[in-house]
Amino acid sequence: MTALFRNRLAYLSVSFILLIAAFPLISLGMTTGPSLLWWAGLVSLTCGGLIPPLQRLILGPPPSADDPAS
């Protein structure tokens, strides 16, 4: 699991996909679909929102790229 948090592009992509997938799931679960879709959307929304803060707690802020030419 920590290998995912070491690659910035990977964890931000996973977080973005979870957040994007959450809204249709919640919408379908509230209108016509089974309530399981609503819960899946809520879990997806929560996990997608918690990935970036957890990364900062586990590994700290990302290293800044220092430009030696400046």
pLDDT, tens digit, 9 for 90 and up, residues 20-40 = 999 999 999 999 889 899 999
Long-range own/partner contacts, residues 55-64 (CB < 8 A, 24 or more apart): 55/5, 55/11, 58/2, 58/5, 59/2, 59/5, 59/6, 62/8
**pTM, to two decimals:** 0.76
∠ CA 66-51-47 to the nearest 5 degrees?
165
Residue 28 lies in a domain: yes
Residue 66 lies in a domain: no
Domain span at residue 17 reads: 2-59
Residue 70 lies in a domain: no
Residue 65 lies in a domain: no
Q: Report pLDDT digits (tens) over 44-69.
A: 999 999 988 988 888 777 666 665 65
Number of domains in the chain: 1
Cα diameter, the chain = 59
